[in-house]
Structure 1
Amino acid sequence: MARLAAVLLLSMLPAPGLAAQRDPAAIRQQLDGVVPAALARHKVPALSLALIRDGRIDVVAAWGAQGGGQPATPNSLFNVASLTKPITAEVALRLASTGRIDLDEAMAAHWLDPDIKDHEWRNRLTARLALSHQTGFANWRRQTGGQLRFRFAPGTGYGYSGEGYEYVGRYLQAKTGEGLDALAGRLIFAPLAMASTSHTGQAWFAGRIAAPSHDGAPLPPVIAAQPTASDDLYTTAADYAAFLASLIRSEAVTPDLASQRATVHADQTRQMCNQRAPATCPARAGFGLGWQVLDFAGTRFLMHTGNDRGEFTFAYWSPDTREGGVILTNSNVGGLAIIDALPALDLDPRFAAYLKAVAEN
């Protein structure tokens, strides 16, 4: 998934500064000329995107077929898969900003999974470690015999883990007495007017879901009955971009926590730069709080992908350049359509060089 995300981003690199010279109407016109062919080539039913410049949304568009004979529109709802995780992380940061939680508190004081209730490492688990993928858990407990088990001591290494996010989600509910969906609604969705975003199925989903597909074959939508912290959020590109724009503007978090969000907590610089030209590597890279962070000597880019059986989604933003974007597809190979369809969106040359090195290795 990381390789595909890197290749995806490479497709957005014509000449540095080119996109900045175009107005939103020109960008939309170029996309209209290439996206439909890209969707057809890779059998991706639909793609929707929203782009941000200077902390504000300036392009929102959709192409292709939503399903059921309906065209995709900016109102189409997509399952964003693991792009759910940054929402959970932001709930935690906004609670911490008001003193409702402490990111370094032992979560066991409020939530303790029965599978590890007697383990010597149970009190090492904190929200900070969960949000930066340092819990020591596998991605899913089905990978460890159906039980939650530690693969390494919390805080001693990196291991991408949906279970870690589910753990912090249960901690937040136990600590505050509010469900994750209620917390997200109160702290993020309502303030940002994200009226088309939900962790669980809603009556207003009717006629709006971009039906998922796997290698061109349609799949039934996965709609959660209970909110999950790591997956299956439904939203529109414009709604998720509103979330990204809020992060760029550092809203509702303290300056210290905003800085911590964009700071590497789980360092992966050596692994991510292995066998690549040193000149293309970021000064530091790894996971921050909810986001993968690439720090190019002070210019930071934060990104995350989502990739389930019937979806591929991608989001990025920079607190330094104040740009960002979200691209949603309803296909497991949606990243391939993006590679072909979006050559006009440029990125910082240092970011571009690193991503090119990733794609070539």
Structure 2
Amino acid sequence: MKFNLTGAVAALVLAGCTGMPEPADAQTVASPQRLALDKAAPAMLAQNNVPSLAVGWIEHGEVAWTAVYGERAPGEPADDNTLYNIASLTKPLVAETILRLVASGTLDLDTPLATHFVDRDLTDEPRARKITLRHALSHRTGIPDNWRDRMEGGKLRLDWEPGTQAKYSGENYVMAARYAMATTDTRLDRLAQQALFAPVGMNDTFFTPDPSWEGRVAMVRGEDGSLRLPDNSPQGNAADNVHTTIGDYTRFVAAAMRGDGLTPEIVEARGTIYDDQTQQVCPPGLIPPDKCAKANGFGLGWIILDTGTNRFHLHSGKDWGERTVALFEPDKRFGIVVFTSGANGRQVIADVLKLLVDDVPLTTLTQAEADFEKRGR
């Protein structure tokens, strides 16, 4: 039933059951992957107390199907119109928007951000004037934590020279977006709409709340078992809280995989590992050496995971009750997007990938992440 990434699998669409319009020449036969997921999804949700699951499947560089399972709210089924808070899957959207602006000549990857923007907490920090978009999009600015409110005094700081070490931080993307907005004198949501959403056909993706959300947002279940609507960002956030449908985001991943709107040079830069972190991701004793990836680290907007069989671009998201992941293999033109609306969603994601993707280092890593979350509770 699994998708063998080393082989050619026909693109099959389940007629009338996807969130995407069926291509005129599409076959109306269910793919084995879709049939397997239809059978397994209800138990995945029930066993993990997760309200809903949405999956998008890409083959040959195009969306093959999307599927949604479970409930948006108690007694109300989730469907193709359901909006999910995708947590940190916001970052690839922002990165691709910026990379498209670089491709058009509007922005430059290696011009210091200080030409148009320096964070208020770093005005007296000489190293801040060396930070570039390439540093920010690959998490190599020198910022040592995810958000400034976790740092001493609630202020941003740099702990090392930009470009020398990677550390994941939402502040990197806030910084990159602030620079893009200052350079173009345009709000982030409008930049994304112009450069990315409109060209890709993403009509249901939002940085800020919108009247159209009414009755559409997937409620999320936290670790304590309670159910509520997810957080949102009233002013917008470059690193978190975008709301979108599974169809919109799967279209986005397909476009990113094809390199739409980018130059070959930018596609190569995006897929470069700038600071290999394989040892941190696969420490001795946690994952057997034969199940570890060959290389793993930050590219531009995506984590690059080289398993030896595949070189994935991937990113995940985690908030109070949201767990999400998206990945694609650009050479083999395959991708998958998974949204879940529960704090136990990491296990659902691991189960979906084990069911559908034949890549042991990938599925071993995602299961290890799920196990780590469980142990931390």
* Same fold flag (TM > 0.5): yes
The SS at the match of 1:136 is coil
| Distance change in 2, residues 1:360/1:181 (3 Å) | closer
Report 1:68-83 matches (<5 A). Answer: 69-83=75-89
Among residues 150, 159, 168, which one is paired with 1:143 in the alignment? 150
Give the drift of 1:222: 1.4
Report 1:150-299 matches (<5 A). Answer: 150-215=158-223, 216-275=225-284, 278-296=289-307, 299=310
Give the drift of 1:284: 2.8
Residue aligning to 1:309 = 320
| Distance change in 2, residues 1:21/1:177 (3 Å) | closer
**What count of residue pairs does the alignment treat as equivalent?**
350
Tell me: higher relative CO, structure 1 or 2? Use CA pairs within 8 A at least 6 residues apart.
1
Provide the rounded CA distance (Å) in 1 between the counterparts of 2:282 and 2:50: 32
| Distance change in 2, residues 1:55/1:14 (3 Å) | closer
Provide the rounded CA distance (Å) in 2 between the counterparts of 1:20 and 1:350: 21
Provide the rounded CA distance (Å) in 2 between the counterparts of 1:79 and 1:309: 10
- Per-residue deviation, residues 4-46 of structure 1 (Å, max 9, x unmatched): xxxxxxxx96977799479551333322222112211211001
Give the drift of 1:223: 2.1
Provide the rounded CA distance (Å) in 2 between the counterparts of 1:23 and 1:56: 11
Give the drift of 1:56: 0.9
| Distance change in 2, residues 1:190/1:249 (3 Å) | same
Report the residue type matching 1:331 in the other structure.
G
The SS at the match of 1:63 is strand
Give the drift of 1:174: 0.3
CA contact (8 A) 2:62 2:254 kept: yes
Among residues 112, 119, 128, which one is paired with 2:125 in the alignment? 119
Give the drift of 1:191: 0.8
| Distance change in 2, residues 1:75/1:358 (3 Å) | closer
Give the drift of 1:357: 8.3
Report the residue type matching 2:202 in the other structure.
M
CA contact (8 A) 1:16 1:349 kept: no
Provide the rounded CA distance (Å) in 1 between the counterparts of 2:4 and 2:118: 51
Provide the rounded CA distance (Å) in 1 between the counterparts of 2:282 and 2:229: 39
Give the drift of 1:178: 0.8
CA contact (8 A) 2:354 2:363 kept: no
Residue aligning to 1:5 = none
- Per-residue deviation, residues 78-111 of structure 1 (Å, max 9, x unmatched): 0000000001111111011011111111101101
Provide the rounded CA distance (Å) in 1 between the counterparts of 2:79 and 2:159: 44
The SS at the match of 1:148 is coil
The SS at the match of 1:331 is coil
Identity, % of aligned positions:
39
Provide the rounded CA distance (Å) in 2 between the counterparts of 1:360 and 1:209: 28
CA contact (8 A) 1:292 1:304 kept: yes
Higher alpha-carbon deviation: 77-86 or 115-124: 115-124
- Per-residue deviation, residues 167-221 of structure 1 (Å, max 9, x unmatched): 1111110011111100111111111111111111111111110012203311233
Residue aligning to 1:97 = 103
Provide the rounded CA distance (Å) in 1 between the counterparts of 2:83 and 2:267: 29
Unaligned segments of structure 2, at least 5 residues = 14-29, 373-377
Residue aligning to 2:44 = 38
Report the residue type matching 2:312 in the other structure.
F
Give the drift of 1:329: 0.9
Give the drift of 1:248: 1.6
Report the residue type matching 2:89 in the other structure.
L
CA contact (8 A) 1:19 1:344 kept: no
The SS at the match of 2:339 is strand
Provide the rounded CA distance (Å) in 1 between the counterparts of 2:275 and 2:5: 30
The SS at the match of 2:193 is helix
Q: Give the TM-score normalised by the residue count of structure 2.
A: 0.86
Higher alpha-carbon deviation: 145-154 or 101-110: 145-154
CA contact (8 A) 1:301 1:316 kept: yes
Q: Give the TM-score normalised by the residue count of structure 1.
A: 0.89
Report the residue type matching 2:206 in the other structure.
S
CA contact (8 A) 1:134 1:154 kept: yes
